[in-house]
Amino acid sequence: MGHLRVPDPYDFQLSTERYRAFGPDLANLWHDDGLHRVVAGREVRIVAANGGVEVEPLDDETAPVVRKLLGFEFALEPFYAFATTEPVLSRLIPALRGLRPPLAVDPFESIVTSISAQQVSLHAAFSVRNRFIAAFGARAGAAYAFPTRERVAAAAEDELLALGFSRRKAEYIVGLARDDVDLYALAAAPDADVKAALVALRGIGEWTADWFLARYLARPRAWPWGDLALRKAVAAFYGADTDVRAIGAEFDPFQNLTAHYLLTGFRVHPPSD
């Protein structure tokens, strides 16, 4: 087991709360007080440690994946400095200090995850997605590798339908897998171009594109204003009449971190506390 230093401040339990809030995620599995992820056929276990995390195995193949998964791309201190000027965030930060939002490590996985959550509860989305992961992914230890794009491209839509996806979602996921769009290349594109490329694909709207920017590319200004949970969080912290889309500009250039802190704060430290 090797030690991987995580930029300060960092709270492992708080940062991985999302993996426990809505039930198990077989591809990012919280198990035995650690986070498990399959990398290149090997199960990687990540646990809290002083100054960072302990990772088994830790090598040149697993380290970049763990860094991505743990949200190393986010710079927290500039955000915290900004938050001191914003009344709601200035109250939230002391309770959430060290929250480093985790990221999706693969673009196809990121989009499929969002498609599975369209217009259903997150608990329902996790349940259906776990059946999908178990059916098309490869198990290594307790966790499963998320199904590859190639494996899903070879699947029939009826196979996904049998797992609990709606007909349209099955079409969207298989269609995405078979499309020739280079999802990795989007990392080099500006935010607006990323969104334009994604919404041109069947089944992907602004909400899914915004979460791709936020949770895969870690773009600082990503603001998924159409997300129901974020809308509830904004209403709780700023008032029911708040224009969620418009208020995003007030957090510039930290919309992404603000969204994650509001969402987590709403779950673990709601305004009534």
Spell out the residues 6+ positions from residue 29 whose beta carbon is closer than 8 angstroms to its own: 19, 35, 36, 37, 142, 143, 144
Tokens of residue 162, six digits: 């049998």
CA distances (Å), origin 117, targets 22, 32, 94, 112, 263: 12, 26, 31, 9, 16
pLDDT in tens, 197-206: 999 999 999 9
Is the confidence at residue 273, as pLDDT, over 60? no
DSSP 207-226: HHHHHHHHHTS--TT---TT
Is the confidence at residue 272, as pLDDT, over 80? no
pLDDT of residue 32: 96
Share of the chain above pLDDT 90, in %: 94
pTM of the model: 0.95
pLDDT of residue 182: 97
| 3-state SS, residue 156 | coil
Architecture in CATH of 107-215: Orthogonal Bundle (1.10)
pLDDT in tens, 13-25: 999 999 998 889 9
What single-letter DSSP state applies at residue 2? E
What ranges do the domains of the chain cover? 2-72, 107-215
pLDDT of residue 123: 86
Torsion sign across C-alpha atoms 197, 200, 203, 208: positive
pLDDT in tens, 58-93: 999 999 999 999 999 999 999 999 999 999 999 999
